[in-house]
Amino acid sequence: MDLMAATMDACDSPNFSDVASYDKSRSDIHAEFAEIYATKCHLDKDAFMEVVGIKVLPDGSVNSGNGATRTLKFYTKLHRQLGIHVS
Q: Residue 86's pLDDT is what?
A: 66
Nearest alpha carbon to residue 53 among 66, 63, 43: 66
Q: pLDDT (tens digit, 0 to 9) for every residue of the chain, 87 residues total?
A: 788 899 999 989 999 999 999 999 999 999 999 999 999 999 999 999 999 998 888 888 888 788 888 888 888 888 888 887 665
Q: Residue 83's pLDDT is what?
A: 84
Q: Which residues are CB-neighbours of 46 under 8 A, at least 6 positions away?
A: none
Domain extents in the chain:
3-81
0.85 exceeded by pTM: no
Q: Residue 64's pLDDT is what?
A: 79
Nearest alpha carbon to residue 30 among 46, 8, 14, 13: 46
